[in-house]
Structure formats: C-alpha cells, structure tokens
C-alpha cells in the first residue's frame, strides 16, 4: 500500500539522501512532503520524474502523513516527533533525541527488525552511524557465540558532521595546496591532513560519540552485559566510516567460522583471502553503496578465541538514510 511520506530536514545531507533512497528502492510513496526550516522553504528538490517544493516545518505539517522520516537534529525531533506521532504518523528519527528512551525501539533491520513493531510513543529511533555498521557486522557472531567484550576504534568521515564540514575540508586542502594556513571554523582544529577527536565531551573522559557506541550496541543486541571500549576519531575522508574491531566471546570463535557466518549475513559483503596491501575494504569504494563491508577477519594474537575485523560503510546511506528507509519497509 502506498504511503504519504514526510522527510523532515529534507535539504540537509541525510535528508537529500533519504529522498534518493526512497526513490532508488522504489518505496511506495503516494505523496512526498519535504519539510525544513523557513529559510529553506520554497527550494525545489529532485524526486521521481520531477521535483518537490520544500515546505516550512510547523505543527500542522503532518496531517495525513503515514511515515515521517526525521533528520533535522535532536532539538527539532524532541519538539516535532510527538506532534507527528499524535497526528497518526510513524516517526523514524535519525537524531540522538529518542535512542535511549526505553519506550522507543532502536532498530537496525538486519539485526532487530521485530523491535520496530512495538512503539508505544509512535516513534522509532535510527541508531548512530558508527553503531549501525558495527552491529550489522557483529550480529551473526553474537548469535553464534555471544559477545563479551568489544574494543572498537572508528575512523569517521567528515560528511558525518554535515555539508559545511565537507566544504571546510575541501577548502582546507585547497589552502594547503597554495601554501596557505587553512582556517578551521566548523572543526575544532585543522581537519585536512589530520585526525581529530571531534565530538562533545561525555563522561569519564569519553566523548558523546564513544558513549553512543556503548549504550546503543547493548540496546540493539539486547545484552546489557556486553562491554564496549570505544575510541572515535574524525579523518579527512568525505564519505565512509571505517572501524577496527576487536571482539571477545563467551565461547571461542575461529576466523573460519566467523567468515562462514558473515558470508550469509544480510547486508554484509565479506572480503576474504590472504592479507594483501590495498585489498581491504576502503571508504572510497564504499561511498554511494549500501552494504556493510567486512574484511581482515583474523584471530587475535593475544586473546585465544577472540577476533579482529575491519568494517567499512557509507555513513550517509547505511549509517543514516538507508537504515531509516529500511525501517519504513519493515512497516509496509
């Protein structure tokens, strides 16, 4: 059955990707409503065989809407997601506003699609981009041997900070090429040719981004005893998050068994074979594609039965827009 779909934050990087994903996956849209702030109202965005005009977001925006995809930040979601739900829409929210609310399911369709069917507030949360690709890769291993401890280091693309961040990275690279000192306004320091810790402080010396990996992983996998040790950094890549993951289990798991499980895992593309320079999954190749790429699956040298993996995915697609649209598909 066709649905009336609203996209909140339609002019942003993820919002535009949501429009492209709805179209690319032939989601049954009977009417598309593009919503954004007053300064973006009137813009035309391509959709289908034509274009959709952006409307200003307001309390009356959700009349007759079946599904509302939100990607406009936590403050907008806190204010408008309950309004949309009260109007009868199922809200799928990409911000951090509702992820840890016990009344709101946190869903990755390859991992816990059934959670989307129980939504007391009418809201479903889309996890953080770095969490999504990690749990897609780890879900089949968790089912087989139950995860005890994850040590994850992320290498996150600048597009995760928004289009202004991408433009600043590009401008900094031009400045460096001219022999000039690059300016940092969007980033806390120079991003080009550098690596940054680029998120707000959390607790106990961790950033907010790192704590998301801890809390969201436990909620999605349904196991509060999983220990997660995270380190997150931003790298001068436009699109595609990469993750180095060390994982320990309640029973030993071999690399061969893990590869067998990952070959059959939904949403995963596995790179196998002997180590060779340049053969591992790379963000440049993952950009503008849907899968979660897993490679370098190998036994840990110091912890018997533990594994190390390299995981890469497009953070705007599987890390945001695609996952949200897949949740909507679960509901149709």
Is the pLDDT assigned to residue 1 strictly greater than 90?
no
Fold of 131-314: Dihydrodipicolinate Reductase; domain 2 (3.30.360)
User: Is 250 part of the annotated catalytic residue set?
Assistant: no
Q: How many CA atoms lie within 13 A of 263 on its CB side?
A: 8
Read off the pLDDT of residues 25-50 as tens digits, 9 standing for 90 and up: 999 999 999 999 999 999 999 998 89
Q: How many CA atoms lie within 13 A of 109 on its CB side?
A: 20
User: Is 129 part of the annotated catalytic residue set?
Assistant: yes
Read off the pLDDT of residues 230-279 as tens digits, 9 standing for 90 and up: 999 999 999 999 999 999 999 999 999 999 999 999 999 999 999 999 99
| Domain ranges (residues) in the chain | 3-126+320-331, 131-314
Q: State the CB neighbour count (10 A cutoff) for residue 181.
A: 9
Q: How many CA atoms lie within 13 A of 184 on its CB side?
A: 10
Read off the pLDDT of residues 96-131 as tens digits, 9 standing for 90 and up: 999 999 999 999 999 999 999 999 999 999 999 999
Was domain 3-126+320-331 assigned CATH 3.60.20.10?
no
Same fold, 3-126+320-331 and 131-314: no
Catalytic residue among 129, 149, 246, 250: 129
Q: Check residue 153 and give its pLDDT.
A: 98
- Indicate the pLDDT class of residue 301, thresholds 50, 70 and 90: very high
Catalytic residue among 142, 149, 241, 246: 241
Specify the pTM. 0.95
């Amino acid at each position: 059955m066709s649905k009336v779909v609203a996209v909140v934050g339609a002019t942003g990087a993820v919002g535009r990707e949501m429009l492209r994903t709805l179209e690319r996956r032939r989601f049954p849209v009977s009417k598309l409503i593009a919503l954004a702030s007053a300064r973006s109202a009137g813009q035309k965005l391509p959709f289908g065989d034509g274009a959709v005009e952006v409307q200003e977001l307001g309390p009356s925006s959700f009349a007759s809407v079946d599904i509302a995809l939100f990607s406009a930040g936590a403050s907008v979601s806190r204010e408008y997601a309950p309004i949309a739900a009260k109007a009868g829409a199922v809200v799928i929210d990409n911000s951090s506003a509702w992820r840890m609310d016990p009344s709101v399911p946190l869903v990755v369709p390859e991992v816990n699609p059934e959670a989307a069917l129980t939504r007391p507030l009418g809201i479903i949360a889309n996890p953080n981009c770095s969490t999504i690709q990690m749990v897609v890769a780890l879900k089949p291993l968790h089912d087989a041997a139950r995860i005890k401890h994850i040590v994850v280091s992320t290498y996150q693309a600048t597009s995760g900070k928004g289009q202004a961040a991408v433009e600043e990275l590009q401008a900094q690279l031009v400045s460096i090429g001219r022999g000039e000192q690059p300016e940092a306004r969007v980033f806390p320091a120079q991003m080009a040719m550098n690596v940054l810790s680029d998120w707000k402080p959390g607790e106990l010396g961790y950033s907010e981004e790192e704590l998301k990996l801890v809390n969201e992983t436990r909620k999605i996998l349904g196991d509060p005893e999983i220990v997660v040790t995270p380190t997150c950094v931003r790298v001068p890549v436009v699109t595609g998050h990469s993750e180095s993951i060390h994982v320990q289990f309640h029973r030993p798991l071999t690399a061969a068994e893990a590869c067998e499980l990952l070959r059959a895992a939904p949403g995963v593309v596995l790179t196998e074979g002997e180590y060779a320079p340049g053969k591992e999954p790379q963000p440049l190749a993952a950009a503008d594609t849907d899968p979660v790429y897993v490679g370098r699956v190998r036994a840990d040298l110091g912890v018997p039965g533990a594994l190390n993996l390299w995981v890469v995915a497009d953070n705007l697609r599987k890390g945001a827009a695609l996952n949200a649209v897949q949740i909507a598909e679960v509901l149709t």
